[in-house]
Amino acid sequence: MLWMILIPLVAAPAAPWLVRRLGRHVGPLLALVPIGVGLALAIHLPMEPGTWRLEVLPWVPELGIHLAFRLDGLSITFGLLISGIGALVLTYAGGYMGDDPRLGRLCGLLLMFLAAMLGVVFSDDLFVLFVFWELTSIASWLLIGFKHEQAEARDSARMALLVTGAGGLALLAGLVLLTAAAAGSGIPLDRATRISALAGVGLSGHPLFTPSLVLIVVGAFSKSAQMPLHFWLPRAMTAPTPVSAYLHSATMVKAGVYLLARLNPVLGDSGLWHVLLTLTGAATMLVAAVMAAGQSDLKRILAYTTVSVLGTLTMLIGVGTDLAIKAAVVYLVAHACYKAALFMIAGSIEHATGTRDVRRLGGLGRAMPVTAASGLLAALSMAGAPPLFGFIGKELLLKAKLDLEYLGVVLALTAGLANVFLIAMALVVAVRPFLASRTVAAPDAHEAPPAMLAGPLVLAAAGLFVGLVPGVFDAALGSAMASAIGGRTIIMKLKLWHGLDPAALTALLISAVTLALGFAVFLRFRAGLSRLAGRFARLGRHGPARAYERLYGGLMDLAAAVTRATQNGSLRRYTRLVLLALVATCVYPLSRAVPLESVGPVEWGWHEAAVAILALVGAVTAVLSRSRLSAIAMVGITGILIAVLFALFSAPDLAITQIMVEALTVILLVLIFHRLPAFSHLRTTAARLGDAATAAAAGAVMSLMVLVAVAAPLPATVSAQMARLSVPQAKGRNVVNVILVDFRALDTLGETTVVAVAGLGVYALVKLSRRARGEGGKP
């Protein structure tokens, strides 16, 4: 199964190259990749309910993480949707982009996304799934920001990345907790990360179970745009239309739903799971459906209806009865088909007329008959009109609701109300632009090219076909998929006409009423649109999107303020910040670590103390001096006195070197600086006192460091070894010299290089000064 993921992944970077070589007609050729994957999946049909095939390759066996892939009803259905719609979208993209040179990049990214998405649905290992999950977020970010020269596209892409990325972090934390809960319940580590091993175990008693459930649900909700994390999806419509059709309606946004469906057997035995999913899903379903009516952009209408459908699916998984799961299966597949088709049709309309504003569209039916026909079919499926697949989905949905003991009627009415708006919007998007009598936008509209007709036509026809002969679907896949979601064997027998049992008749009645109401809303749409849109625009200003903007803006302001405060170009401020940070972090731990007995082991020596005090006097005089030359002299005196200290404490080499270097330093400084002006008072007295306090505190840290370091002497073994080997191996009696030129000769080579480079730098700068002065001197 790994190769099914690898081949698109390998094809992705090849796509731009192929497009450059073969031009825009390469779309169908690239579509062969997902078609191949689809055929390889189709071999496994029909799928027996409750069975699966596993493939396991070790990846990080120490952590129990394996590249485990599973084929069952759920993953094959998703795999077929991903590869099938992927093939159609790739074909469509060739027509949509035309001769745009960015077609190659688009196709490459779409293939990369396809591979990631296949990885998500095939993974049986929680963490492998997570890796692919994040990959889909990144691919989505790149695709939303595809027109990266537009600020709006960049903003939308960043919003999608931040929202889904934050959700991804929550998901990761949830998965880790879930694994911990499983390991804590006695499941061996090797199997604790495997979804198939965790299904039906019943972990809900473990204390980590509830937090892990909440975090996983948050992650899934962010991906599937559930309230209140839905706002990124309508914004994502700045992406090119093939991307919207593929990622943001048919596949990626369903990854969240997929995850919920996949983990339903693992997490579904908890009451919290059902409450969270049912309530959030129902709220999202209704609110998004109403909000869709406030939009006028074709793609944004479709985006809000997508959010509504995702809410419906979440709710159905939360309800979790056999009927609800069957409804979720049918609804999911039907939605993927008609919504991808509708997005492509929206793209074709935009392609032909140059606008996506429904208020300016009309009368396109004569010019675009094939698009219009597929639009009508897709819209009928979305509206849930017989005999399309969407109708079966809606019937099942209503029956599943009515079947419930609690809240059944409420949920059914909510779903019915949401459905009214979905029906109206379906007609607005896919029928109104073709039927309305007068053309506003483009009199020269033309039918879309064949590459752009194939996708909508095939998908709409599929909806009709499965609607007419639903038995094909449930025998081949439906039952297996429902069983995988439910974690128990669920046999589906789909029918268009359910006979005369009361539940079916009630559902049919509600269905008919919603259709009639939806049509009524559609007829009033034109009048009500602008008022409703204005109202929702006002409402939108206070939604969660607003909270996101505030948070993001606040973060940016904070970053700017911190940068202004710390990176203002003043060297003094940088030094002060470093010193204060040193003091703040080191004083307390160091003063705790000073052992008092370490103060006394070396005997007192009057002459040494006198030298030390004199060295200090030199340094203080240098600090206070107003004259450059006396400051240089005083620094030199300090250096010489330190050389004396070296000599007194058994370091003759250091003393010699220090005296020579000190002499050189004084000569160098005098040579360079004898022409500079005297020091002037540049700081106020208050600033001087503040600096003195900072410096004194940092100096105290250094004193403490001495005392702490003395108490923890270096391990003597290395020193002893070098002292012992100095004469026999290196033939040298001065151990320090032997270390420098023999034992650690490479270090000394490096040191010499540093000195040489510094010397070159000095030479270059001096020469530069001379030349500058020479040129400046000429009149």
Residue among 166 and 670 whose Cβ is closer to other proteins: 670
Applying CB under 8 A, among 410, 696, 745, 749 the residue interacting with other proteins is 696
Contact stretch for other proteins (CB under 8 A) within 250-258, 530-538, 544-552, 700-708: 700-708
Task: Name the phi and psi angles at 542, rounded to 5.
Answer: -110, 5
Q: Which residues 172-231 are close enough to bind other proteins by CB under 8 A?
A: none
Q: Which residues 110-129 are close enough to bind other proteins by CB under 8 A?
A: none
Least distance CB 725 / other proteins (angstroms): 9
Q: How many residues bind other proteins (CB under 8 A)?
A: 106
As a whole number of angstroms, the distance between CA 748 and CA 657 comes to: 15
Residue among 150 and 703 whose Cβ is closer to other proteins: 703
Least distance CB 705 / other proteins (angstroms): 6
Binding of residue 684 to other proteins (CB under 8 A): no
Q: Which residues 613-632 are close enough to bind other proteins by CB under 8 A?
A: 615-616, 619-620, 622-623, 628, 631-632
How far is residue 354 CA from its own chain's centroid? 33
Contacts of 399 (CB under 8 A, 6+ apart): 323, 327, 503, 504, 507
Contacts of 741 (CB under 8 A, 6+ apart): 732, 748
Q: Which residues 735-764 are close enough to bind other proteins by CB under 8 A?
A: 735-736, 739-740, 744, 747-748, 751, 754-755, 758-759, 761-762
Q: Which residues 571-610 are close enough to bind other proteins by CB under 8 A?
A: 571-572, 575-576, 579, 598-605, 608-609
Task: Name the phi and psi angles at 39, rounded to 5.
Answer: -65, -40
User: Which DSSP letter does residue 404 get?
Assistant: -
SS3 662: helix
Binding of residue 717 to other proteins (CB under 8 A): no
488: its two tokens: 């128990």
For 650, left (φ over 0), alpha (ψ -120 to 50), or beta?
Answer: left
Applying CB under 8 A, among 393, 463, 639, 644 the residue interacting with other proteins is 639
Give me the sign of the Cα torsion angle 106, 111, 114, 115. negative
Binding of residue 733 to other proteins (CB under 8 A): yes
Helix pair angle (389-402, 502-523), 10° resolution: 120
Binding of residue 663 to other proteins (CB under 8 A): no
Q: Which residues 518-577 are close enough to bind other proteins by CB under 8 A?
A: 568-572, 575-576
Applying CB under 8 A, among 512, 664, 745, 749 the residue interacting with other proteins is 664
For 543, left (φ over 0), alpha (ψ -120 to 50), or beta?
Answer: beta
Burial bucket for residue 563 (CB in 10 Å: 0-12, 13-18, 19+): exposed
Applying CB under 8 A, among 650, 686, 775, 778 the residue interacting with other proteins is 650
Q: Which residues 226-255 are close enough to bind other proteins by CB under 8 A?
A: none
> What Cα–Cα distance (Å) separates residue 496 from each residue in 75, 476, 504?
26, 18, 11
Interface map 80-109 toward other proteins (x if CB under 8 A): ------------------------------
> What Cα–Cα distance (Å) separates residue 113 from each residue in 106, 139, 231, 679?
10, 5, 22, 66
Residue among 321 and 625 whose Cβ is closer to other proteins: 625
User: Which DSSP letter does residue 250 get?
Assistant: I
Exposure string for 439-455, b = 16+ CB within 10 A, e = fewer: bebbeebebbbebbbbb
Q: Which residues 459-488 are close enough to bind other proteins by CB under 8 A?
A: none
Residue among 411 and 698 whose Cβ is closer to other proteins: 698
Applying CB under 8 A, among 183, 279, 440, 651 the residue interacting with other proteins is 651
Contact stretch for other proteins (CB under 8 A) within 408-416, 432-440, 533-541, 667-675: 667-675
Contact stretch for other proteins (CB under 8 A) within 238-246, 370-378, 518-526, 691-699: 691-699
SS3 570: coil
Binding of residue 730 to other proteins (CB under 8 A): no
